[in-house]
């Protein structure tokens, strides 16, 4: 106890240097924990881009490829799947709901997705959070559209605004536009931090309507064009879609239904588990996570190096102090313990201050960060893994402090009483 009291009094005597050292460690700990939260938030947000969906069904392809175009709207499907096949799947006892989607068109660089009104009920993200509307309502009329928050913000759209859909997925459509059938914006979705924000949603029937006369893949001639009013009287029931989200009544039936779909004989289709596909994709793109971890470790190492330099820098000034302690009976091991205790106190105070700074900053900026970036940072106490990291940091601080402590240990009484010129 005497050692700790002496260490505390010694730090108080050098309070400015001690405070700067504590601040250095605190900023490093704050950055380390902040990077960890960003790292976990990025992974969690990525994996929870879609939540509550048990299977994604699409044309026969790799798991990652199907995930990319069905969830992230990246790339294109190898083929479409027939609605008849989806009806067969939907009739299975395991299935509770199914939401088909159709891709292939765009609007000023944003993907257009055809779907059913059930999409707004069953699509969930980040731990089963349902979609919500910032303004307006889901599409009801054939030529209604619901836009994501980024679409509305970047293009300055509002309710009842008019938009046109382009054929294909490029930023420039070179005349391949469905501008003869404009859409009215009926709703704007709240920000989710997912690809939903950058998507224009229309009905599956609308997808069929804008492609009437496009059977050859090119725009019909002007004299063959069918007006929007005339299209309303046609049978617009879709025959093929791009993919479908499937929710089951019980998780127990996932593998049996997946096996049924993958062995479906009428058409080459496949079903993937979103969680497994996300893990595969993260294994490919997760190197950035490792880079963040390396940066965090380097930041902590720099803080410890600063602490060593700080203690070593004051060691020469404390030669007389060490000599007096030795003269009144302090043993070298006690001098060693004094320096280690000071290092431990600096490390512990730095860690505690760093945690306080991080959570104070999060309390002020948490909502703004999520709104601006879509990155979900959990405002919760450090987890078991983070506590382990913090304990390692404290131990590392003590080990770092043992370097100047060892030098002080080797100093003799005469070292402190000798005048150096």
Q: DSSP secondary structure string, 234-252?
A: S----SEESEEEEEES-GG
Tokens 């019909």, residue located: 220
Q: Count of residues for the chain?
A: 421
CA 84 to chain CA mean position, Å: 36
Structure tokens that stand for 351 in this block: 């860690």
Distance CA 115, CA 134 (A): 20
Instruction: Tell me what pLDDT residue 4 has.
Output: 66
- Within 13 Å and on the Cβ side, how many CA atoms surround 421? 0
Smallest Cα–Cα separation from 98: which of 246, 250, 254, 249?
246
Give residue limits of the domains in the chain: 2-46+287-417, 55-272
Q: pLDDT digit of tens for each residue in the chain (421 aa)?
A: 666 666 666 667 777 877 888 888 888 888 888 887 877 777 777 777 888 899 999 999 889 999 999 999 888 888 999 999 999 999 999 999 999 999 989 998 899 999 999 999 999 988 788 999 999 999 999 999 999 999 999 999 999 999 999 877 655 444 467 777 899 999 999 988 889 999 999 999 999 988 886 665 566 565 556 777 888 888 889 999 999 999 999 989 999 999 999 999 999 999 999 988 988 888 777 677 677 778 777 877 777 777 677 666 666 666 666 666 666 666 767 777 777 777 788 888 888 998 899 888 888 877 676 666 666 666 677 777 778 888 888 887 777 777 766 766 665 444 544 545 5
User: What phi and psi, each to the nearest 5 degrees, are found at residue 185?
Assistant: -75, 115
How does strand 110-115 pair with strand 183-189? unpaired
Tokens 């950058």, residue located: 198
Q: For the chain, give the longest Cα–Cα distance.
A: 108
Q: Do residues 228 and 143 touch, judged by C-beta distance below 8 A?
A: yes
pTM score: 0.74
Q: Do residues 109 and 198 touch, judged by C-beta distance below 8 A?
A: no
User: What phi and psi, each to the nearest 5 degrees, are found at residue 301?
Assistant: -60, -40
Query: What count of other Cβ atoms lies within 10 Å of the Cβ of residue 395?
Result: 12
Instruction: Tell me what pLDDT residue 270 has.
Output: 95
Instruction: Tell me what pLDDT residue 414 has.
Output: 47
Instruction: Tell me what pLDDT residue 257 has.
Output: 95
User: What phi and psi, each to the nearest 5 degrees, are found at residue 311?
Assistant: -70, -40
């Amino acid at each position: 106890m005497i050692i700790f009291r002496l260490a505390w009094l010694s730090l108080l005597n050098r309070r400015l240097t001690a405070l700067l050292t504590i601040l250095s460690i605190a900023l490093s700990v704050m950055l380390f924990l902040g990077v960890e939260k960003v790292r976990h938030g990025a992974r969690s947000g990525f994996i929870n881009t879609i939540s509550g969906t048990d299977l994604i069904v699409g044309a026969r392809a790799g798991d990652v490829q199907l995930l990319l175009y069905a969830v992230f709207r990246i790339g294109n499907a190898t083929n479409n799947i027939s609605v008849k096949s989806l009806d067969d799947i939907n009739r299975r006892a395991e299935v509770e709901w199914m939401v088909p989607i159709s891709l292939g068109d765009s609007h000023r660089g944003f993907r257009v997705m055809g779907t059913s009104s059930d999409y707004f009920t069953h699509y969930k993200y980040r731990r089963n959070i349902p979609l919500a509307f910032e303004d307006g309502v889901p599409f009801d009329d054939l030529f209604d559209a619901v836009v994501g928050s980024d679409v509305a913000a970047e293009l300055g759209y509002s309710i009842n605004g008019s938009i046109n859909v382009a054929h294909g997925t490029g930023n420039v459509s070179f005349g391949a536009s469905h501008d003869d059938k404009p859409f009215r914006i009926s709703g704007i979705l709240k920000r989710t931090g997912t690809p939903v924000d950058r998507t224009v949603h229309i009905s599956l029937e609308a997808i069929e309507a804008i492609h009437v006369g496009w059977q050859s893949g090119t725009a019909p001639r002007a004299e063959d064009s069918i007006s929007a009013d005339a299209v309303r009287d046609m049978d617009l029931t879709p025959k093929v879609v791009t993919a479908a989200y499937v929710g089951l009544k019980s998780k127990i039936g996932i593998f049996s239904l997946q096996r049924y779909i993958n062995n479906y004989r009428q058409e080459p289709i496949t079903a993937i588990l979103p969680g497994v596909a996300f893990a595969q994709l993260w294994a490919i793109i997760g190197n950035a996570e490792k880079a963040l971890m390396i940066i965090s470790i380097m930041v902590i190492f720099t803080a410890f190096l600063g602490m060593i330099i700080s203690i070593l820098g004051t060691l020469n000034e404390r030669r007389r102090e060490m000599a007096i302690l030795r003269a009144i009976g302090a043993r070298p091991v006690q001098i060693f313990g004094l320096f280690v205790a000071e290092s431990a106190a600096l490390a512990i105070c730095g860690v505690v201050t760093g945690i306080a700074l991080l959570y104070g900053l999060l309390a002020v900026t948490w909502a703004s960060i999520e709104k601006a970036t879509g990155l979900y940072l959990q405002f919760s106490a450090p987890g078991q893994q983070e506590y382990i990291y913090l304990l390692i940091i404290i131990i590392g601080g003590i080990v770092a402090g043992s370097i100047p402590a060892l030098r002080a240990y080797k100093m003799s009484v005469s070292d402190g009483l000798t005048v150096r010129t």
